[in-house]
Amino acid sequence: MNLEIERRFLIKNNSWRTYIINQVKIIQGYLSSNNDGWIVRLRSENKEFKLTLKKHIMNSTSLEFEHTIDSNEGNQILSHIKNKIVKQRFYLKVNEQNWIVDIFQDSNAPLEIAEIELDSEYEKIIIPDFISKEITGIKIFSNYQLSINPFSSWGDEDINKFF
């Protein structure tokens, strides 16, 4: 079964920058979402396009199916998606664990989110000093929700709940 198990966190300082091992620019858009919880996403990363079907199933676990598609097709599809997520993704190695930090751009700036993918929901992690609050499972922070309700449009009430 194709499972993605990840935990997501807000960031409180820039000390994560000392752990960077790689970085890429990501542009992604959403083609659909339905009442059964399936989301269809197209992502461009390093000039490679992946079409992803994703469904949250419990806690920090989602079903995820990714398929590489031709770059001409990917560019054409992405050019017709109105609300895109643009972010700089940094890959980190912290305490022998692989972390990701996404620095959102455009209408989602200055949002910064760290995440770690796990082999099981029970896997132990060491929380680095740059981590603030855990936001795993909080829908307002999902990339899909950020594409339709960007961070820059949040009211003070939403922002004050988390920051």
In the chain, what are the domains?
3-162 (2.40.320.10)
State yes or no: pLDDT of 1 exceeds 80. no
Name which of 13-22, 31-40, 110-119 the model is least confident about. 31-40
pLDDT in tens, 42-69: 999 988 999 999 998 888 999 999 999 9
Q: Assign 28 a pLDDT band (cuts: 50, 70, 90).
A: very high
State yes or no: pLDDT of 34 exceeds 80. no
Question: Over pLDDT 90: what percentage of the chain?
Answer: 85
How far is the C-alpha of 154 from the C-alpha of 78, rounded, in Å? Answer: 25
pLDDT in tens, 78-129: 999 999 999 999 999 999 999 999 999 999 999 999 999 999 999 999 999 9
State yes or no: pLDDT of 19 exceeds 90. yes
Q: What is the mean pLDDT of residues 124-135?
A: 96
Beta bridge partners of 80: none
**Residue 80: Cβ-neighbour burial (10 angstroms; 0-12, 13-18, 19+):** exposed
* 2, 64 Cβ separation under 8 angstroms: yes
How far is the C-alpha of 27 from the C-alpha of 88, rounded, in Å? Answer: 9
| pLDDT at position 42 | 97
